[in-house]
Amino acid sequence: MGRLMFFLELSGVAYGLAFAAAWSKVPPRLALVPLCAALLVPNICALAVWPLRKLLRAFRDGWESNPFRKPAPSSIEVWKFLERVTPLSGIVAFLLFLALALMEGLSGSHAAVAGLCAAEAAAVFLVFQAVRGTVESLARRDHEVPRFDLSRDRLRDYSISPRESDVAELLVSGLRYGEIAQRLFISVKTVKTHVHRLYEKTGARNRMELANALRA
Amino acid sequence: MLSAHENHTNGVLERETLRTNLDRQEVRKMRFAICVALLVLALVGAVMLDGANPLAFIGIPGLVIEVLVPVFALLAVWKGSELGAACRDAFASRRDQSSPARSIRIWDFAEKACYAAGALAWLMVMVVVLVPRVPLRDPADLMRNLAVGLVAPIYAVLFALVCRILRERVKQRGGDT
Confirm or reject contact between B172 and chain A (CB < 8 A).
yes
Reported as a single tens digit per residue, the pLDDT across A4-48 is: 556 666 666 666 666 666 666 566 666 677 777 778 888 899 988
| Distance (Å, whole) CA A107 – CA A100 | 8
CB contact under 8 A, A100 and B175: no
| DSSP track, B7-74 | HHHHHHHHHHHHHHHHHHHHHHHHHHHHHHHHHHHHHHHHHHHTT--GGGG--HHHHHHHHHHHHHHH
Q: What is the pLDDT of residues B135-155, one digit of tens each?
A: 666 766 777 778 888 888 999
Domain map of chain B by residue range? Answer: 1-57, 59-177
Range in A129-138, A142-151, A169-178, B90-99 the model is least confident about:
A142-151
Contact yes or no for A89/A38 (Cβ under 8 A): yes
| Average pLDDT taken over every residue of chain B | 81
Q: Provide the pLDDT for residue B144.
A: 77
Contact at CB, A48 and B49, closer than 8 angstroms: no
Chain A CB within 8 Å of residue B115 CB: no
Provide, as residue numbers in chain B, all residues whose Cβ is less than 8 Å from the Cβ of A115. none
Q: Which residue has the higher pLDDT, B17 or A45?
A: A45
B46 vs A: CB within 8 A: yes
What domains does chain A contain, in order, with CATH numbers? 2-140 (no CATH), 152-214 (1.10.10.10)
Q: Which residue from A minimizes the CA distance to B152?
A: A95
Q: What is the ipTM of this complex?
A: 0.77
Give the range among A21-30, A37-46, A100-109, A160-169 with minimum mean pLDDT: A21-30
Give contacts of A77 with chain B, Cβ < 8 Å: 168, 171-172
Contact present, B110 and B78 (Cβ < 8 Å)? no
pLDDT beyond 60 at B177: no
Query: Of A30, A37, A103, which has the smallest distance from its Cβ to B144's Cβ?
Result: A103
Q: What is this structure's pTM?
A: 0.70
B108 CB near a chain A CB, below 8 Å? no
Angle made by CA atoms A118, A124, A130, in degrees to the nearest 5:
140
Which carries the bigger pLDDT value, residue B18 or residue B102?
B102
Interface test with B, best of A32, A35, A45, A54 (most B CBs within 10 A): A45
> Any chain A CB within 8 A of the CB of B164?
yes
Residues A90 and A63: their CA atoms lie apart, in Å, by 24
Please answer whether residues B123 and B102 qualify as being in contact, where contact means their C-beta atoms are separated by less than 8 angstroms.
Answer: no
Q: Is the pLDDT of residue A210 over 70?
A: yes
Mutation for A interface: B24, B28, B157, B177, most A CBs within 10 A: B157
- The pLDDT tens digits of the residues spanning B47-76 come to 887 777 888 888 888 888 888 999 999 999
pLDDT in tens, B101-128: 898 999 999 999 999 999 988 888 888 8
Whether residue B172 and residue A49 make contact (CB cut-off 8 A), yes or no, is yes
Residues of B within 8 A of A79 (CB-CB) are none
Confirm if B165 and B126 have CB atoms less than 8 A apart.
Answer: no
Of A32, A48, A110, the CB nearest to B35: A48
For residue B129, the distance in angstroms to the closest alpha carbon of chain A comes to: 14
| Higher pLDDT, residue A2 or B111 | B111
**Cα–chain-centroid distance for residue A84?**
18
Measured between beta carbons, the chain A residues lying within 8 angstroms of B169 are 48-49
Instruction: Phi first, then psi: give them for residue A215, nearest 5 degrees.
Output: -60, 140
Query: What is the C-alpha to C-alpha distance for residues A127 and A147, in angstroms, rounded to an integer?
Result: 36
pLDDT of residue B21: 63
Which residues does residue A33 pair with via DSSP β-bridges, in sequence order? none
